């Protein structure tokens, strides 16, 4: 081989060596670039994960709290439902007993009211008498005054007690005199007074117009007040009737038959069928 061949061979070897070094350098640079990219990706991913974890924690925390509350609520609702079911069972077994007790209580109240009104049978309630007209001896006053205004025989009645009912007018602010409650010794005296008062219709005295009524319990008075308008309609229609205890309206028909209206609804139904005045 000549000198030119040796130089060519050496030049070729140098080129080959330079290419190998360049390739190695390129590979190293690629590796470094890939490593750098991986580090960047890892860092970005780590940051994103931290941010997401923080945000998700903020969302999950109230959700967990709500879930806990819902669980507690469901548990309490289950307890309530069980209690309601137990109460329903108890009520179902108690209803017959309660109904029986209500029936017994109603009967007891009716008997009590009946006893109260029986104890009032000897009382007469006087409305419209001027305050103070009876003076300081009301028993002596009414023993003499009642027969005079009703046209009864003197000394025909025996009065046990007499007094005004309710608080004084200055305390209540109401107008008009308070009612007078007169307790007769005999029930027959009460009947005489009420019959005489009905016969006179209007009782006028020096102290003004007065009215005599039988004394009833508050419940009977309430029941009787309910039929005031109905009784007025019966009178306007020319219907003959009597007003019986406790609040029964007995209708006397022209054909001789009678009808008893025991409840206010019966009375209203009967009045609604009456012909209207022209």
Show pLDDT as tens, one digit a residue, over the chain (278 residues): 555 554 455 555 554 555 566 667 777 777 777 777 777 877 777 777 777 777 777 777 778 888 888 888 888 888 888 888 888 888 888 888 888 999 999 999 989 999 999 999 999 999 999 988 999 999 999 999 999 999 998 777 999 999 998 776 655 556 778 999 999 999 999 999 999 999 988 888 876 789 999 999 999 999 889 888 888 888 888 889 988 888 899 999 888 899 999 888 888 888 888 776 55
User: Cα Rg for the chain, rounded, in angstroms?
Assistant: 54
Residues 240 and 264 in one domain: yes
Output the pTM of the full model.
0.60
In the chain, count of helices (H) and strands (E)? 7, 8
Residues in Cβ contact with 105 at an 8 Å cutoff, skipping those fewer than 6 apart: none
Question: Per the domain annotation, does 244 fall within a domain?
Answer: yes
216 close to 123: Cβ distance less than 8 angstroms: no
49 and 108 share a domain? Answer: yes
The answer to the question of residue 87 being in a domain is: yes
Report the CATH number that the domain containing residue 157 is assigned in CATH: 3.30.70.1820
Residue 33 lies in a domain: no
């Amino acid at each position: 081989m000549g000198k030119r061949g040796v130089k060519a061979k050496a030049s070729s070897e140098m080129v080959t060596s330079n290419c190998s070094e360049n390739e190695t350098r390129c590979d190293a640079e690629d590796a470094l670039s890939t490593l750098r990219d991986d580090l960047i990706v890892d860092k970005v991913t780590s940051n994103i994960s931290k941010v997401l974890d923080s945000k998700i924690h903020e969302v999950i925390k109230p959700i967990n709290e709500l879930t806990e509350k819902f669980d507690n609520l469901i548990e309490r609702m289950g307890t309530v439902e069980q209690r309601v079911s137990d109460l329903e069972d108890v009520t179902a077994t108690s209803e017959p007993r309660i109904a029986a007790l209500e029936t017994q209580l109603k009967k007891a109240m009716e008997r009590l009211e009946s006893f109260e009104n029986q104890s009032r049978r000897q009382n007469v309630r006087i409305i419209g008498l001027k305050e103070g007209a009876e003076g300081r001896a009301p028993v002596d006053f009414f023993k003499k005054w009642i027969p005079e205004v009703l046209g009864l025989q003197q000394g025909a009645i025996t009065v046990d007690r007499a007094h005004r009912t309710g608080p004084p007018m200055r305390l209540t602010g109401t107008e008009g005199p308070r009612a007078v409650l007169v307790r007769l010794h005999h029930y027959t005296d009460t009947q005489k007074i009420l019959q005489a008062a009905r016969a006179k219709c209007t009782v006028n005295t020096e102290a003004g117009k007065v009215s005599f009524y039988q004394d009833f319990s508050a419940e009977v008075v309430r029941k009787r007040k309910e039929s005031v308008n109905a009784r007025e309609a019966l009178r306007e229609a020319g219907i003959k009737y009597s007003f019986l205890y406790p609040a029964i309206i007995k209708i006397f028909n022209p054909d001789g038959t009678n009808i008893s209206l025991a409840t206010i609804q019966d009375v209203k139904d009967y009045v609604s069928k009456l012909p209207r005045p022209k």
